[in-house]
Amino acid sequence: MSELSENAKQTIAEHLPRYPSKQAVTLPALHVVQQERGCVSKKAMEEIAEILELSPAQIHDTASFYGFFRTEENPLGEKRIWVCRSLPCMLRGGEELLAALCEKYGIAPGETTSDGKLTIELAECLGACDGAPCILLEDELHLRCSVEDVERIAKEPTPETKKV
């Protein structure tokens, strides 16, 4: 039985003409699988390798090099919050914001809540230093976040939300 859905296989195939080589489609393929399943299993890596005519080791090397891919042992939550840890964000309260999120949800950065609803991640920089501190919730960038915003952040976008 295939680990990848027909939709995932088709999406990966649609990426092929847009890249100079099949190997260059490795990252997009991993993203497609993780988006669909919340993690990239060993079987999914083998299937990606087959589609891209690469070895499973090459796919695994790429997946393990980048911190944003999760395995079946450590899947993503339904929602993912990235907290920017750049110097501007940390100087403007990012550390306190991170601590408040971790305390509220009872997890440390890189962990997922026991109900599988939320994963808190650290980002080196979200590229929005003028709006520090900032958080990326799914594809929504939240600027000038405060500890008081924590309760609201996971429920609805703020007025200062930009689509990334």
pLDDT at 160: 44
Residues 60 and 108 in one domain: no
State the pTM of this model.
0.67
Q: Domain tally for the chain?
A: 2
Q: For residues 38 and 43, what is the distance between their CA atoms, to the nearest angstrom?
A: 14
Look at the block and give the residue holding tokens 């993503």: 76
Are 119 and 93 in contact by the 8 Å Cβ rule? The answer is no
Cis-peptide into 133, omega within 30 deg = yes
Q: Domain containing 40: what range?
A: 6-65
Q: What is the mean pLDDT of residues 149-158?
A: 61
pLDDT digit string, tens, across residues 88-103: 999 999 999 999 999 9
* Buried-exposed string 135-146: b where 16+ CB fall within 10 A, e elsewhere: bbbeeebbbebe
Residues 58 and 83 in one domain: no
The CATH number for 35's domain is 1.10.10
Q: For residues 80 and 72, what is the distance between their CA atoms, to the nearest angstrom?
A: 16
pLDDT digit string, tens, across residues 60-84: 999 988 877 888 887 888 888 999 9
pLDDT digit string, tens, across residues 137-146: 877 899 999 8
Q: For residues 75 and 79, what is the distance between their CA atoms, to the nearest angstrom?
A: 11
The pLDDT of residue 162 is above 80 = no
The pLDDT of residue 153 is above 80 = no
Q: For residues 49 and 51, what is the distance between their CA atoms, to the nearest angstrom?
A: 6
For residue 72, being part of any structural domain is answered with: no
Residues 122 and 88 in one domain: yes
For residue 34, being part of any structural domain is answered with: yes
Angle at 13 between CA 12 and CA 15, to 5 degrees: 65
